């Protein structure tokens, strides 16, 4: 694994958002949900898709705080224009578990 500088790390804008809505995304090649995430007044609400169907049900996601990269260019994933990359780590079976703050932090707060 190559090293990067701290300045390189700071180029990746990772923010706290709160999922406001989650819907199944049956058109996706792999099981996924469409997500709407509120990043507060500076960034606003953004859309994404996430392959998190094993550990989460759509009705359990609204209100959950997550970390996401907000400065990648949007990607078209099927019919969804994904505007942010929601972050997670794989469990022992390779299924994604979301990453979020441990405490109550403001929406849009930047990770350093």
Residue 37 is part of a domain; what is its CATH number? 2.40.50.140
H/E stretch holding 77 reads strand 75-77
Tokens coding 53: 């169907």
22-79 pLDDT, tens digit each? 999 998 889 999 999 999 999 999 999 999 999 999 999 999 999 999 999 999 988 8
53 inside domain: yes
104 inside domain: no
54 inside domain: yes
Contact 16, 65 (CB under 8 A): yes
pTM over the 0.85 mark:
yes
Tokens coding 3: 């090293």
| 33-38/88-90 β-pairing | unpaired
29 inside domain: yes
14 CB neighbour count, 10 Å cutoff: 18
In the chain, how many domains are there?
1
Q: Which range of residues forms the domain containing residue 26? A: 13-98
108 inside domain: no
């Amino acid at each position: 694994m190559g090293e990067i500088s701290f300045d390189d790390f700071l180029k990746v804008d990772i923010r706290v958002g709160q999922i406001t809505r989650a819907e199944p995304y049956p058109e996706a090649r792999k099981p996924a949900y469409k997500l709407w995430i509120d990043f507060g007044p500076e960034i606003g609400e953004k859309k994404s898709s996430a392959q998190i169907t094993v550990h989460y049900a759509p009705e359990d996601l609204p209100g959950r705080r997550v970390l996401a990269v907000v400065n990648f260019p949007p990607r078209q994933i099927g019919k969804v224009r994904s505007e942010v990359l929601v972050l997670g780590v794989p469990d022992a079976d390779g299924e994604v578990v979301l990453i979020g703050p441990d405490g109550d932090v403001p929406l849009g707060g930047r990770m350093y």
